[in-house]
Structure 1
């Protein structure tokens, strides 16, 4: 069985992604490192001033971007979409798309790309402040912000949410229903996966394979805030 792991952004080797200018990608997860047939990759991409992701089409692979800093826009099938910090930019497969920063600040964003269980959807932008928070599943004192899932315009390929766990809260006793990749936005804590304790800090990415029992705990007086990508989406199996 594949093993859970944690990697920090600053320990990753930057790579120049194909069809990008003045940009770098930092991969938390690739199929070879995750032993997964679900994800093509889960990474951070940075496009600097004057850079771009030039015209591309990933056929049956959906893109889910989560903006961490900066502002930017995409041209998707001829239509312009602008985004800012806290936005998800959903780019469906079979869509011609380009991406550009706005202003001089580096555009930094999480990228999830996966083709599994693909079905055609439409592009959209949704901010974390636009969604109704709900209690996080199988958790105590934790809130989820479901930004993209099969019920609100996304697809079965990717469910994306932000979760906030209060200092005395926990996400506990879960067996992963699908492969999942997460990223620590703020706070610190630890994940226990199949009995192994893995520390978490800001800008860590961590992988939990399908079938692994895990818990997520904050550590300290600050809430632990994480972005989570599940693929294929857990909610598809709950309907």
Structure 2
């Protein structure tokens, strides 16, 4: 079986507001629906001031967040920490987490999730 590589420009992908996200938008750049992957979800997210996703957990997925612009609060297991550009966050499966834009400009960050299942508990 031959696998197919993907090259995609960000402007080719529409912004979406995922379920349970508020003022929080993502471009789903690499997912099983648009690329030859069954192992990952790669997206860029932009949360407007006051935008957030409330604390939740994923049963089998792990995630990495990488902050590009803006500032906000990352909540992990009830503890909130300020995040700014160049901050990296690793979230193992089963760990409660949420992120809030408490800054004055959009909070932009990359999210890598594996496996790419979207379930939120």
Query: For 1:122-161, what aligned pairs fall within 5 Å after superposition?
Result: none
- Structure ID, larger Rg: 1
Following the alignment from structure 1 to structure 2, what is the Cα–Cα distance between the partners of residues 12 and 102? 26
Following the alignment from structure 2 to structure 1, what is the Cα–Cα distance between the partners of residues 68 and 5? 24
* 2:20 aligned with 1:33: no
Following the alignment from structure 1 to structure 2, what is the Cα–Cα distance between the partners of residues 36 and 115? 10
CA-based RMSD: 1.5
Q: Relative contact order, CA 8 A, sep 6+: which one is greater?
A: 2
Q: CA deviation at 1:24?
A: 0.8
Q: Assess if the C-alpha contact under 8 Å between 1:2 and 1:34 holds in 2.
A: no
Q: CA deviation at 1:52?
A: 0.5
May I ask how many residue pairs the two structures share in their alignment? Answer: 115
Q: Which has the higher strand share?
A: 1
Question: Which residue number in structure 2 is paired with residue 76 of structure 1?
Answer: 76
> What TM-score comes out, normalization by structure 1 length?
0.46
Q: Assess if the C-alpha contact under 8 Å between 1:26 and 1:45 holds in 2.
A: yes
> What TM-score comes out, normalization by structure 2 length?
0.87
Gaps of at least 5 residues in structure 1 are 117-239
Following the alignment from structure 2 to structure 1, what is the Cα–Cα distance between the partners of residues 74 and 36? 31
Check 1:85–1:65 CA distance in 2 against 1; reply closer, same or farther (3 A cut). same
Query: For 1:124-203, what aligned pairs fall within 5 Å after superposition?
Result: none
